[in-house]
Structure 1
Amino acid sequence: MRIYKLKPEFREKIWGGHKFRDIYGMDCGNGLVGEGWLASSLPGKEDNLVIGTEMTLSELYNQHNELFGTHSTEVIPIKFLLADCNQSTSVQLHPNEKYAREIENCLGKPECVFFLDAEPKTIGMYGHNALNKEQFKKMALDGEWEKLLRKYPVEKGDFAYIPAGRIHTTWEGTVILELSRNADITYRVYDFDRVDANGNKRQLDLEKTLDVLICPDNENPFVQPQIASDGDAMIFKYHDIPGEFSAYKVVNNGIGYFSLNEFAYYFIADGSGHIDGTPIKKGETFFVPCKLGKLKLEGDFTILVGSYRDK
Structure 2
Amino acid sequence: MTTKSPIFLKPLFKERIWGGTSLKRFNYELNSDNIGECWAISAHPNGTNKVKSGLYKGLSLSNLWDKHQELFGFYPSDKFPLLTKILDASQDLSVQVHPDDQYAQQNENGELGKTECWYIIDCKKDAEMILGHYASSKKQLLQWVEQGLWSDLLRKVKIKPGDFFYVPSGTIHALCEGTLVLETQQNSDTTYRVYDYDRVDQNGQVRDLHLDKAIEVTTIPHQDESIDPVISKQKDATITKFVEEKYFSAFKWQINGESQFNQDKKFQLVSVIEGEGILETLDGEFTFQKGDHFILPYQMSDFTIRGNTEMIISFPN
Shared fold by TM > 0.5?
yes
Paired residue type of 1:143: G
Does residue 110 (structure 1) correspond to residue 129 (structure 2)? The answer is: no
Distance 2:192 2:66 in 1: 30
Query: Once the 2 structures are TM-superposed, how far is the Cα of residue 291 of structure 1 from its aligned partner?
Result: 4.5
Query: Once the 2 structures are TM-superposed, how far is the Cα of residue 293 of structure 1 from its aligned partner?
Result: 2.6
User: Is contact 1:129–1:150 with CA below 8 Å preserved after alignment?
Assistant: yes
Residue 24 of structure 1 corresponds to which residue in structure 2?
26
Query: Once the 2 structures are TM-superposed, how far is the Cα of residue 30 of structure 1 from its aligned partner?
Result: 3.0
Query: Once the 2 structures are TM-superposed, how far is the Cα of residue 262 of structure 1 from its aligned partner?
Result: 2.4
Residue 98 of structure 1 corresponds to which residue in structure 2?
102
Paired residue type of 1:12: E
Moved over 3 A (4+): none
Paired residue type of 2:248: F
Residue 138 of structure 1 corresponds to which residue in structure 2?
143
Residue 255 of structure 1 corresponds to which residue in structure 2?
258
Does residue 280 (structure 1) correspond to residue 288 (structure 2)? The answer is: yes
Paired residue type of 2:269: Y
Unaligned runs of 5+ in 1: none
* Higher alpha-carbon deviation: 181-190 or 48-57: 48-57
Out of 266, 290, 312, the position equivalent to 1:304 is: 312
Distance 1:11 1:57 in 2: 18
Residue 165 of structure 1 corresponds to which residue in structure 2?
170
Distance 1:76 1:85 in 2: 26
Paired residue type of 1:227: I
Distance 2:37 2:254 in 1: 25
Out of 264, 281, 289, the position equivalent to 2:297 is: 289
Distance 2:254 2:155 in 1: 31
Paired residue type of 1:77: P
Report 1:1-311 matches (<5 A): 1-21=4-24, 23-43=25-45, 45-52=46-53, 53=56, 54-104=58-108, 105-219=110-224, 221=225, 223-242=227-246, 244-259=247-262, 260-276=264-280, 277-309=285-317
Cα deviation per residue 1:77-98 (whole Å; 9 max; x = unaligned)? 0010111000010000110010
Cα deviation per residue 1:124-171 (whole Å; 9 max; x = unaligned)? 111110001110011011111111111110001100000000000101
User: Is contact 1:82–1:176 with CA below 8 Å preserved after alignment?
Assistant: yes
Distance 2:126 2:118 in 1: 18
Question: What is the number of residues matched between the two proteins?
Answer: 305
Distance 1:257 1:227 in 2: 17
Distance 1:101 1:70 in 2: 23
Distance 2:47 2:138 in 1: 34
Paired residue type of 2:38: G
User: Is contact 1:191–1:202 with CA below 8 Å preserved after alignment?
Assistant: yes
| Secondary structure, counterpart of 1:49 in structure 2 | coil
Unaligned runs of 5+ in 2: none
Query: Once the 2 structures are TM-superposed, how far is the Cα of residue 265 of structure 1 from its aligned partner?
Result: 1.2
Distance 2:197 2:303 in 1: 46
User: Is contact 1:158–1:222 with CA below 8 Å preserved after alignment?
Assistant: no
User: Is contact 1:150–1:218 with CA below 8 Å preserved after alignment?
Assistant: no
User: Is contact 1:187–1:204 with CA below 8 Å preserved after alignment?
Assistant: yes
Distance 2:186 2:64 in 1: 18
- Indicate the RMSD between aligned Cα atoms, in angstroms: 1.2
Distance 1:268 1:77 in 2: 20
User: Is contact 1:261–1:291 with CA below 8 Å preserved after alignment?
Assistant: no
User: Is contact 1:262–1:289 with CA below 8 Å preserved after alignment?
Assistant: yes
| Secondary structure, counterpart of 1:134 in structure 2 | helix
User: Is contact 1:26–1:283 with CA below 8 Å preserved after alignment?
Assistant: yes
Paired residue type of 2:5: R
Cα deviation per residue 1:101-134 (whole Å; 9 max; x = unaligned)? 1111201100000100110010111111000111
